[in-house]
Structure 1
Amino acid sequence: MGDASDAGLPVKRRVGPDGIHLFDRRTGLNVLFDEVDVPETQWTRAPRQVSIALTNACDLACPFCYAPKAAAMLDADRLCAWADELNAEGCLGIGFGGGEPTLYRRLPQVCRHVAEHTSLAVTMTTHAHRFTPRLIDALAGAVNFVRVSVDGVGPIYEELRGRPFVELVQRLTWIGRAFRFGLNCVVNLRTLPDLDAVSDLAATTGAEELLLLPERPARGRPGSSPNVVAALHQWITDYRGPVALTLGAGDSGSLPIAQPLPSETGLRTYAHIDASGTLRRSSYHSTGEPVDERGVLAALERLQQKDVA
């Protein structure tokens, strides 16, 4: 079970209904001893992964963005305290997002705290355009994986993101020299035809993963239609590229997918904290519990009790 003695160690131990899970944040290696039957009283309390929106601020205006637009930003000291608590309770990693996390002024300091005082993996989802050599130097060694949002190439990318595609490619080169990274692609009617080109970009830039995210309904947009989702599933079935594919949670449909931890579900798997400090089941859920002075786990327990009531 993860505890404070794990601080600073790269390998994390977590126990639950599927056995004993070891995770190395340096390499991303996962090892599960599923033959071990662990009593429920010893199961890890924290979710396996927690995403945290550092700020709602963003300097892009992507039409399919679902992030809240109200001004909000988390306090750095609170963030570090939450990371310490989650580490002690057996969480494996936290993912910083937003908004755009690189607009958060104390991002390097918070990432450094997590790297030096916990064994949590730190990931980040970003549009990458604010990654400069100076920021990369500040984050090197403190961030384990960078997820870059890329929903098309060339003109389609520039139409959706409002930034030069050639600048994105340059930043992917810089990021690849310092971090393990992957690409995220929101899939809708406009981006579906570019999937081959996006997968080629992932391969040529050295990405380790391509995460496919069917567009969710938000801000008056209907999201991906059933026909688009069906076409995406067919594309995945036909895919033969070298970069590993992953699909957004809940979007697999009838596709055969690996479930290495089948008994670990719901809030045992994942939770989200928004930029106002509210814990939710995901960034798409409207209900949640504020993380107050009692901490993240107390908010988690209150959220679980809502399901029972």
Structure 2
Amino acid sequence: MIALTLASALQTPLPLATLRADPSAARDFDYWSLRAGRTPAEVQALAGSITADDAAKGCRTEAELEIVLGLESAAEANSAAAWRADHEAAAKFERESKALRAKALAGEKVGDQYISRNVQTFVEQAQAARTQRARAVIERVAIDQAGLSVSAPQSPVPGVERRIALRSKHRYCVVSRDNAEWLKTEIRSRGWFTLSADGPDADRAAWLMVQHSDHDPAFQREALALLTRLKDQNETSKRNYAYLYDRLAANEGRNQLYATQARCRAGQREPHPAVDQPEGLEARRAAMGLETLEAYYARWGACPKA
């Protein structure tokens, strides 16, 4: 009992309310100090309680992201020096990748080691868009792709990759929700980005934003209803319709129709969830402009060995 009381007295408190109110304070707080009198598992549990709160409300705030980053990295590091090296190396990479994203979105050529070549493609499509409305939706997708494409560098510092992954996930959360709200308002007031009015690039950009709106299945259902009608009028890509149909079915626990969603199991790629009426699958895929399932899986490459 005396030892337990002493350990509790030695614990550095986590000023959660103060840190949540100030992103700068949350970024600069010495989370390693929380290891005094605590096990790594206990520090991780502090981060877990914040993550549980996040699940109920959506994206973390910037301050909450910094708190989780600090706590998780403090739980994983084996020394104060290692924790600080993680912090400094990840911050340096974030500054550099932010500058690269800005250059790519401004149309400058950048290497694709950390920024996906998709970003440059979307920037070029936006510049060539036939309408201002088309340009706006494509530019938003370029931002979406720039946030998704950041990958961690090879680093001898073990916590860097985790920190970068969490920042990228947070960026994706914020951008995808902002895009969904913008697109929802846009199509309710002016309709879909049709092939005849706005062109295939805008149609694809709008579809991709819906694909990334898994947090809002009601909106995905609304968009799918629009595309169901428009595909028969040749005003949207049938291929994109098929992908959205299957994604929504998978998210809702239903079987898919076109086998665009898959998983690896025992070293083999297979549709997941299962496909309704599998005997007609290849005909349905062809009708939607999709390649054969064999060719589709070949594009993905081999599954990791079990």
Q: Same fold (TM over 0.5)?
A: no
Larger Rg: 2
Task: Name the structure, 1 or 2, with higher relative contact order (CA <8 Å, separation 6+).
Answer: 1
Q: Tell me which protein shows more strand as a share of its residues.
A: 1
Normalization by structure 2: what TM-score? 0.27
